[in-house]
Amino acid sequence: MATHTHPTILDEKAYTQHEEFVESVPNEANVLTPEELEVEKKLRRKIDFLIMPLVILVYLMNYIDRNNYAAARLQGLEKDLGLKGDEYQIGLSLFFVSYILMQLPSNLMLNYCGRPSWYLGFFIIAWGLVSAVTSQVHSYAGILACRFCLGLTEAPFFPGILFYLSKWYTKKELNLRMSLFYAGSLLSGAFGSLIAAGILKGLKGRDGMDAWQWLYIIEGVITIGVGIIIVFLLPDFPETWKALSPEMRHVAMKRLSLDAAEADKDEEGAMSQVKGVKMAIADPKTYILAMMYFCITGAAGYQYFFPTLTKSLGYNNFISLLLVAPPYIFMMFWSLFHSWMSDKRSNRFWFFVYPIPIAIVGLVVFMTCKGFGPRYLSFFLMMFVFTINGTQFAWISSSIPRPPAKRAAALAIMNALGNSTSIWTSFTYRNGDKPY
C-alpha cells in the first residue's frame, strides 16, 4: 500500500530535499554514477510494476465508459429513449464540450495539490457513478445531462496521467510507457465490445432492464472499484513516496533533473500555476503539437461509431460487436512494436508520419468496397492512426519538459484543442446519410 504525505500540497520537507539536491548538482558529474545506475534499474522496475499496470487499468475503464455509448446504441438505447434525427450525435458531442472545458483547470489543480492518488481517484469514482446512473435515464434530456457530467468527471484523467508519467520517467523512457498506457484504450475497444456482446446475449431483459442498462451498471461498478484501488495504491510523486528508500528517492529526482538539465520543480505558491499557463500559451510548440493531435483525433473519429460500422458488414448485433475486437487487438500489439522501434532508432518524426498513408488507404477501401473481406481489412488499416498516439504523447512531454506547471498547462491545452475535433466528428456518421 502506498503511503502519502499531507493531502494539500507537496510538503515543505519534499521541497527542501529537492532544493538541497538541485544546489548539489553543479558540484557532481552530470551523469549517474555506476552505483546510481544500479539503483536506477531497481527504481525503474519498481515503478514499472506498480504504476504502469494501474494507469493502464484506469485508461481501459476510461475508454470503456466513454465508448459504451456506441455499444448501447446497438443494444437499443436510441430506440428506448426515443432519440430522433441528430439527437444521438448531440449526446455524443456534448461529452466533449464539458471534457474540453475541464482540461486546463483540472491539470493545474493536479500539479498544485500534489496528490494524484486522491485527486484522480476521486474523479475515477465520480465517472463510475455517472456511468452507473446513466442506466436509469428515460429521456433525451437525461442522457444529455449524463453525457455532460461524464465529460466533466473524465476530463482530469488523460492529461493528468500524461503529466504524472512525465514526473516519473525520462524522455527516453516515455515513448514505450506512453504506448503501454495507450494500449489501455485499444484494449478497451476490444474488451468493451466483447463485454457488450456478452451482456447482450445473457442479460437482455433481466430484472426488467434492457442490455444497454446492464452495460452501464456493470461497467460503472467496476470503475468505482478501480477508483478505490487508485486512492490506496497509486504513488504520488518521487519526492513524497515513502516506499522509496532515501537512495532511490535521490536517484529518482537526480535523473529527471539531469534529463531536463534543470530541476523538475515549480516556484512555490499558487502564482507559479498562473505563470506556467502564460509560458505554455506563449510557446509556439504548444500550438504545433496541438494541431498535430487535432488532426489525429479527427481522423480517428470513426471509433465512436465502430460497432455501427461493423454492423454494415451485414451481421446481427451480437456478431457485429464481436467483430469490433480483432482490429483493436491487432493494433495494440503493433503499437507496442512501433514504439519499441521508435525508441531503438531514437526517432519520432518518421514514426509519426508512416501510419498516415496506411490509414488513408483503409478509409478509401471502406468507402469504395462492399465485400466482407476488403471492408473488414479496411478496419485494420484504419486503425494505424492509433499507432501515432504513443509517439505523439512522448513527443509532447519531451518537447515541453520543464517547469512542471508549464508542462501541465501545455498538456491540458493540447488535449483540449485536439479533442475539440470530436465535437464535430460526432456528426460525420448520421443515420440520414445511409448507405454512405
| Each residue's pLDDT tens digit, 371-411 | 999 999 999 999 999 888 878 877 776 777 567 777 777 87
Q: Residue 402 has what pLDDT?
A: 65
107: CB partners within 8 A, 6+ apart: 156, 159, 160, 163, 408, 409, 411, 412
| Each residue's pLDDT tens digit, 62-85 | 888 887 888 888 788 888 999 888
- Identify the band that residue 20 occupies on the pLDDT scale cut at 50, 70 and 90: very low
pTM, two decimal places: 0.77
CA distance 241 to 179: 25
Q: Residue 4 has what pLDDT?
A: 43
* Whether the predicted pLDDT of 104 surpasses 80: no
In the predicted model, what is the mean pLDDT of the chain? 82
**CB-neighbour burial class of residue 261 (10 A; exposed 0-12, middle 13-18, buried 19+):** exposed
CA distance 217 to 211: 10
Helix, strand, coil shares of the chain, percent, nearest 5, are: 80, 0, 20
- Identify the band that residue 263 occupies on the pLDDT scale cut at 50, 70 and 90: very low
Over residues 260-269, mean pLDDT: 51
| Each residue's pLDDT tens digit, 294-353 | 888 888 888 878 888 898 898 888 888 889 889 999 998 998 898 888 878 878 888 889
Phi and psi, residue 270, nearest 5°: -65, -25
| Each residue's pLDDT tens digit, 81-101 | 998 888 988 998 999 899 888
Instruction: Pick the closest to residue 146 from 161, 135, 156 (CA basis).
Output: 135
Q: Residue 365 has what pLDDT?
A: 95
Identify the structural domains of the chain with CATH numbers, from first to last: 12-425 (1.20.1250.20)
* Whether the predicted pLDDT of 136 surpasses 70: yes
In contact, 146 and 137? CB cutoff 8 Å: yes
- Identify the band that residue 270 occupies on the pLDDT scale cut at 50, 70 and 90: very low
Q: Residue 140 has what pLDDT?
A: 94
DSSP assignment letter at 240: T
Q: Residue 170 has what pLDDT?
A: 84
Q: How far is CA 38 from CA 25, 32, 235, 256, 259, in A?
A: 19, 9, 22, 16, 17
Q: Residue 132 has what pLDDT?
A: 95
For residue 435, say if its preceding peptide bond is cis, omega within 30 degrees of 0. yes
The percent of residues above 90 in pLDDT, for the chain, comes to 28
In contact, 409 and 279? CB cutoff 8 Å: yes
Place of cell 457488450: 196
In contact, 222 and 199? CB cutoff 8 Å: no
Q: What is the CA radius of gyration of the chain?
A: 22
Q: Residue 430 has what pLDDT?
A: 65
Over residues 283-303, mean pLDDT: 86
CA distance 180 to 196: 24
In contact, 70 and 306? CB cutoff 8 Å: yes
| Each residue's pLDDT tens digit, 206-262 | 888 888 999 999 999 999 999 999 999 999 888 888 888 899 998 888 888 887 664
Q: Residue 413 has what pLDDT?
A: 81
- Greater pLDDT, 370 or 108: 370
Phi and psi, residue 15, nearest 5°: -60, -40
The one-letter amino acid at 58: V
Instruction: Pick the closest to residue 200 from 326, 320, 379 (CA basis).
Output: 320
User: Which cell goes with 277?
Assistant: 499557463
